[in-house]
C-alpha cells in the first residue's frame, strides 16, 4: 500500500490561529520549531528552566520565554523537545500538573508515548511531527523557502481535530513544502531506533572502525586506510541520496561493483543479529535498559562514550579532513553550529 503523503495545500494555518504553542526545550530541534512557527505567524512561547543558559539566547531571537510550568499552563499545544530520557520527568513535574484541559501534546519522536513513560489523559490530543533532519537544517531550509520532510502521526484524537492540528503544525514548521508521510508512534519509534542502532550508527560507524583496523594491522599506512574506508564513504552516500543504491553502484568502477556483489562481510548472519536487535526494540527491553541506566546516573552510557571517543581512526582523521578544500567551508559551518549549539545547550540542559 502506498504511503499517504501531505503537501503544502493540505495544511491550514488558521487551525492554529488564536492558539498558543509552547516549545519545551531550545536545543537542536527546539530552536528550529520555535523560530519557524514564530515566522509562520504562530503565537509561540519557549518553556525552559529559569537557570537554563538557553533562556537569554532564545530571548535574543525575539522569542517569549517562560518557565516550563508557566508555558504549559497557557498553551493550547505543547511540543516536548527535551531529550528522551528527561521527558517523562518534565512531564510529571512541570507539564501534567499545569496543562490546560484538552490541550494538545506533541512530540518529534515517539519514544516516551510508545513505551508508556508518558501517559496523557484521554482528553488530550497527542500527535507527532518528526523532521527527517537535524534542527539547524530544518531552520536553514525554512529560511531558504524550502522544507525538510517529516513523518506525522496521531496517537489520541478525542475531538476529531487531531490531524488538522498536526498538519497545521507541520505547515508552520515548513515541512509540507517537502512533504509529510503518515505513520504511527509505534512505527516511527521502532524504525528510528533500529536505523540508528543497526545501520546509521551501530552499523556504519563500527564497519568503518573495523575496516580501518584490518588495514592498519595488516601494515598499511593509516592515511591510506582512512581514505579507503572513511573519506570515500561520504561520496558514496551522496550518490545514494541522489539516486539510490543503483546510482551509487553504477557510478563506481566495474571492479568496485563486482566486489560489492560477492562481498560476504555483511551476510545472513548480520541480518539475524539485526533481527535480534529489532526484537529488543519491539519488546521494550532496549528502552528499559537505556532508561534504567539513565536513572542510575548513566554509568554505562558514560563508560561507552569514553571508550568509543578514542578510536584509532581519529588519530589520523583530523589531519586528513583538513586536506580537502570542500571541507573547509563545512568545517567553518560546523564550528559556527557548535558555537550556536553551545549557546542553546543541546543535551541535558535543554529544558
Q: Which residues are annotated as a binding site?
A: 26-29, 49, 52, 54, 135, 192, 196, 228, 232, 253
d(CA 36, CA 171): 10
Are 99 and 72 in contact by the 8 Å Cβ rule? The answer is yes
| Residue 70: closest CA among 51, 97, 92, 32 | 97
Residue linked to cell 532496549: 286
Query: DSSP readout, 40-75?
Result: TT-EEEEE--TT-THHHHHHHTT-EEE-HHHHHHH-
Beta bridge partners of 153: 128
Max CA distance (Å), the chain? 67
Residue 18: other Cβ atoms inside 10 A = 8
Chain-centroid distance of CA 208 in Å reads: 22
The x, y and z cell numbers of residue 132, run together, are: 527527517
Annotated binding site for NADP(+): 26-29, 49, 52, 54, 135
Report the binding-site residues for Mg(2+).
192, 196, 228, 232
Is residue 314 classed as helix, strand or coil in its secondary structure?
helix
Q: Is the C-alpha dihedral spanning 286, 287, 292, 293 positive or negative? A: positive
Q: Which helix (H) or strand (E) holds 1?
A: none
Place of cell 564550528: 335
Asked if residue 350 lies in contact with residue 83, where contact means CB atoms within 8 angstroms, the answer is yes
Active-site entry in 33, 109, 114, 124: 109
The three cell numbers locating residue 316:
589520523
Binding positions for substrate: 253
Beta bridge partners of 127: 106, 154
State how far the Cα of 163 lies from the Cα of 153, in Å rounded to an integer: 8
Strands 150-156 and 126-131: antiparallel
Asked about 109 being catalytic, the answer comes back as: yes
CB 39 within 8 A of CB 96: no
The phi, psi pair for 210, rounded to 5°, reads -65, -45
**Active-site amino acid positions:** 109
Amino acid at each position: 500500500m502506498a504511503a499517504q503523503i501531505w503537501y503544502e495545500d493540505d495544511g491550514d494555518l488558521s487551525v492554529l490561529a488564536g492558539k498558543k504553542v509552547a516549545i519545551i526545550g531550545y536545543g537542536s530541534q527546539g530552536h528550529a520549531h520555535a523560530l519557524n512557527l514564530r515566522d509562520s505567524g504562530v503565537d509561540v512561547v519557549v518553556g525552559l528552566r529559569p537557570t537554563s543558559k538557553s533562556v537569554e539566547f532564545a530571548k535574543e531571537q525575539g522569542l517569549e520565554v517562560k518557565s516550563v510550568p508557566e508555558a504549559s499552563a497557557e498553551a493550547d499545544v505543547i511540543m516536548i523537545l527535551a531529550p528522551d530520557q528527561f521527558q517523562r520527568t518534565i512531564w510529571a513535574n512541570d507539564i501534567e500538573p499545569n496543562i490546560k484541559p484538552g490541550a494538545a501534546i506533541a512530540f518529534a519522536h515517539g519514544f516516551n508515548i510508545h513505551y508508556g513513560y508518558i501517559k496523557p489523559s484521554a482528553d488530550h490530543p497527542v500527535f507527532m511531527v518528526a523532521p527527517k533532519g537535524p534542527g539547524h537544517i530544518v531552520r536553514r531550509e525554512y529560511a531558504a523557502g524550502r522544507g525538510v520532510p517529516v513523518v506525522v502521526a496521531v496517537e489520541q484524537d478525542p475531538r476529531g481535530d487531531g490531524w488538522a492540528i498536526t498538519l497545521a503544525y507541520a505547515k508552520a514548521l515548513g515541512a509540507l513544502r517537502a512533504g509529510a508521510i503518515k505513520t504511527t508512534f509505534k512505527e516511527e519509534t521502532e524504525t528510528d531506533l533500529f536505523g540508528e542502532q543497526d545501520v546509521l550508527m551501530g552499523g556504519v560507524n563500527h564497519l568503518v572502525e573495523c575496516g580501518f583496523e584490518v588495514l592498519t594491522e595488516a601494515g598499511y599506512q593509516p592515511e591510506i586506510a582512512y581514505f579507503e574506508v572513511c573519506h570515500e564513504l561520504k561520496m558514496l552516500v551522496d550518490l545514494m541520496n541522489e539516486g539510490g543504491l543503483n546510482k551509487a553502484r553504477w557510478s563506481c568502477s566495474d571492479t568496485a561493483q563486482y566486489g560489492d556483489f560477492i562481498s560476504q562481510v555483511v551476510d545472513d548472519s548480520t541480518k539475524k543479529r539485526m533481527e535480534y536487535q529489532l526484537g529488543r526494540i519491539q519488546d521494550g527491553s532496549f528502552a528499559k535498559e537505556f532508561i534504567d541506566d539513565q536513572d542510575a546516573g548513566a554509568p554505562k552510557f558514560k563508560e561507552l562514550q569514553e571508550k568509543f571517543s578514542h578510536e584509532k581512526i581519529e588519530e589520523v582523521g583530523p589531519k586528513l579532513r583538513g586536506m580537502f578544500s570542500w571541507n573547509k567551508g563545512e568545517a567553518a559551518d560546523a564550528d559556527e553550529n557548535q558555537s550556536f549549539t553551545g549557546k542553546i545547550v543541546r543535551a541535558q540542559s535543554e529544558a
